[in-house]
Every structure is written in C-alpha cells, then in structure tokens.
Amino acid sequence: MSRVYNFSAGPAVLPEEVLREAADEMMDYRGTGMSVMEMSHRSKPFEQIITEAEQDLRDLMGIPDNYKVLFLQGGASQQFAMIPMNLMKNRVADYIVTGQWAKKAAKEAEKYGKVNRIASSEDKTFSYIPDCSDLPVSEDADYVYICENNTIYGTKFKKLPDTKGKTLVADVSSCFLSEPVDVEKYGVIYGGVQKNIGPAGVVIVIIREDLITEDVLPGTPTMLTYKTHADAKSLYNTPPAYGIYICGKVFKWLKAQGGLAVMKERNEKKAKLLYDFLDQSSLFKGTVVPEDRSLMNVPFVTGDADLDAKFVKEAEEAGLVNLKGHRSVGGMRASIYNAMPYEGVEALVAFMKKFEEENR
C-alpha cells in the first residue's frame, strides 16, 4: 500500500486511522454480521451511530441546545436554494460576495426574492475580504449570507460581519471544524462534509430552532423544508447512512486529537510553514492579501502558466497530488485540511524549494 499526500480541495484527505477503522468494520460491523452500508437506517446499531455522531459534533463545537443538527443530502449547493425557501419570509436577503460559491448562492436566492449584494471583493478577483464592519444591511433583510472560507480563492473571514442584528447564515464547507466557533453568532451554519470532515454525500446544517418553521415559501418541497428533517431527527427518509458513519468516526478522531482548539493550533502551524515559504520565494507567490489568508486552502502561482503546469506534473510524480488550481483561477492550490499531516506540508515546501532551484 502506498499513500500519497493529497492536496485536493474536495473530496479530500481523511485521517488514516478513520479509514483503517472503517476497513476493519467493513465486513462485520461490531458483531452485526454486515457492513454499515447494508444496514437499515432504522436499526438499533445505526440509531446509535447517528445519535453519537450528533452528540460528538455538539461536544466539539459547543452547540447550544436551541440549535438543531441536521444530516442532509444534496451538497452545499442544495442549501443555496433551501436557505431562501425556508428563511426568506420578507423575500429580501443580503449577500456578501467573496467568491464563486457566494456568487452562486446569491444567484440562486434571486429565484425567490430580492437579493442585495451589500459587499463584494470581485473587483480584485476575490483576493481579499471586504470590510464588513459597517455594511448597508437592509432594513427588511431576512438574513445576511456569507461564505466564511473561500475554497477557490483561499480567503477567510477572520472577523464575522456586523449584521446589525440580522440573522447570519454561513457556508463553512471548507473550514468546518478547523477551529473553534461561537455557534450563537449564527442563525445557520452549514457545509458539505467532503472538504474537511467526511465522504461526499452529506451536508450538515446547524440551525437555530426559531428559524425552523412551517412558514416556508409556497411550493417548497417537503424534502427541502428544514422542519421535515428537524422533526424526524434527520431520518425522514433514508439518510446518507455510510457517510454519516464516517463523519462520526472523524468527530471521534477530532476529540481524540484534543478538539478544535488543538486543530486550530496545528492548522496555523501548517499554514504558516507554507505561507512563510511563499513570502520569501523568488519563484512562487501567494495570491491573497496576508490578513485574509485561509488556513485551509492556499492558492499560489509562478506567474507563468507553463511553469505552473510543469510544477503540478512533477509534484504529482513526487507523490504530492491534486495541486492544480481551480479551473477558474489557474495556478496551484494546496488544500491543507485537518487530516493533512504537518509532514505533508513539509514535503510540499521541500519540493517547492527544489523546484525553485531547478527552474531559476
């Protein structure tokens, strides 16, 4: 068996301990004689899996009792529609546009009501986070929406926007569980798990109870109503059972590491190694303003598309894979999620040094 250092933005690297455990339990999950994949979602063992997964997530994030945790499907992209369908009572919402994902979410919300783009960083290809300390928040806005960590551009909100009392909704797909959060600052926190938690197919929604109502936009399907899933504890229909099982293992792994404060420290240490190298390199250059840099996604360029392509190819041959930047921006991007060990970033930086010397 040989494992690579996988810098993919998502689906992405998972902890080896988790993969080994899942492998050990593949044929016979704890004496049931079957895999979790083959198991009824109404069975006792699965009930225990989903209940423990929720509790472990609550422990990790310190989720207050007046928030529900929902394990849903449809990816983060489905939330782009579910959020307005469930929350847009006045049919007005404010969006802060800091990248492709926020842009897509704003466009989708326009199907349901008036969308005000109250701040944007598109003028400089989303290389920074706009000042959100005094935004023109709309009087009648149902919520203010952000994408907290911009997976493609590598920026992160280091300080949440002042929403002037309006409900904050955040897509945290690519920074989920990367550091401690104060859940009470948000009305909704959601993310696809395939970036920093588990396999594709699960999206986790953490939502304050007062936002879960039957008063949704006319025509909202049962399956796209938060209340359906909250009332049924994520078991209204067959949930993405195997994915939830792996997420549960990752939650336990995170607890065993010491929790989110420890993950933050490690993530900062990993990111610093790479950013410090970029800041002194004569060949590679980071594309984001230093104060808004993401701990999770690190885009960089040489300034020469052919050299970028050569780098990606040679890195892959050296076991450092999926370093090609998003198709919309080019260059390179190293995603260094929770499960990427420090040694992986060390190996990347060593390889970049060598490449720089050989390509002066």
Task: Give the residue numbers of the binding site for L-glutamate.
Answer: 42
Stretch that binds ligand PLP, among 31-39, 48-56, 72-80, 111-119 (CB under 6 A): 72-80
CB-nearer residue toward ligand PLP: 283 or 292: 292
Handedness of CA 217, 218, 223, 228 (dihedral sign): positive
- Write out the binding residues for ligand PLP, residues 310-349 only, by CB under 6 A: none
Stretch that binds ligand PLP, among 118-126, 168-176, 207-215, 248-256 (CB under 6 A): 168-176
From 101, 166, 253, 308, active-site residue: 101
The CB-of-113 to ligand PLP minimum distance in angstroms stands at: 21
User: What CA–CA distance (Å, rounded) separates 242 from 311?
Assistant: 36
CB-nearer residue toward ligand PLP: 333 or 351: 333
The CB-of-26 to ligand PLP minimum distance in angstroms stands at: 25
User: Could you say which of 10, 154, 187, 331 contacts ligand PLP (CB under 6 A)?
Assistant: 10
Angle at 243 between CA 241 and CA 244, to 5 degrees: 65
Grouping H, G, I as helix, E, B as strand and the rest as coil, residue 134 is coil
Angle at 203 between CA 198 and CA 206, to 5 degrees: 115
Instruction: Tell me if residue 56 is catalytic.
Output: no
Instruction: Tell me if residue 101 is catalytic.
Output: yes
**AA identity, residue 282:** S
**156 beta partners:** 149
User: Which tokens go with 282?
Assistant: 């004569």
From 68, 156, 166, 195, active-site residue: 195
CB-nearer residue toward ligand PLP: 75 or 259: 75
User: Could you say which of 54, 94, 171, 292 contacts ligand PLP (CB under 6 A)?
Assistant: 171
How many CA atoms within 13 Å lie on the side-chain side of 202?
26
Is residue 240 within the footprint of ligand PLP (CB under 6 A)?
no
User: What CA–CA distance (Å, rounded) separates 297 from 280?
Assistant: 19
Instruction: Tell me if residue 182 is catalytic.
Output: no
Binding region for pyridoxal 5'-phosphate? 76-77, 101, 151, 171, 194, 237-238
- Give the 3-state DSSP-derived string for 210-237, with helices as H, strands as E and coil as C: HHCCCCCCCCCCHHHCHHHHHHCCCCCC
Is residue 11 within the footprint of ligand PLP (CB under 6 A)?
no
User: Could you say which of 75, 180, 330, 341 contacts ligand PLP (CB under 6 A)?
Assistant: 75
Is residue 76 within the footprint of ligand PLP (CB under 6 A)?
yes
Residue ranges of E strands in the chain: 5-6, 67-72, 92-97, 114-120, 144-147, 149-150, 155-156, 168-171, 188-192, 203-208, 285-286, 297-301, 320-321, 332-335
Residue number with the smallest Cβ distance to ligand PLP: 75
Tokens 């549960």 locate to 248
Stretch that binds ligand PLP, among 27-35, 38-46, 171-179, 219-227 (CB under 6 A): 171-179
Quick note: the x/- pattern for ligand PLP over 117-156, rule CB under 6 A, is ------------------------------x---x-----
User: What CA–CA distance (Å, rounded) separates 326 from 334?
Assistant: 11
Q: Looking at the annotation, which residues are catalytic? A: 101, 171, 195
Residues in contact with ligand PLP by CB under 6 A are 10, 75-77, 101, 147, 151, 171, 173-174, 192, 195
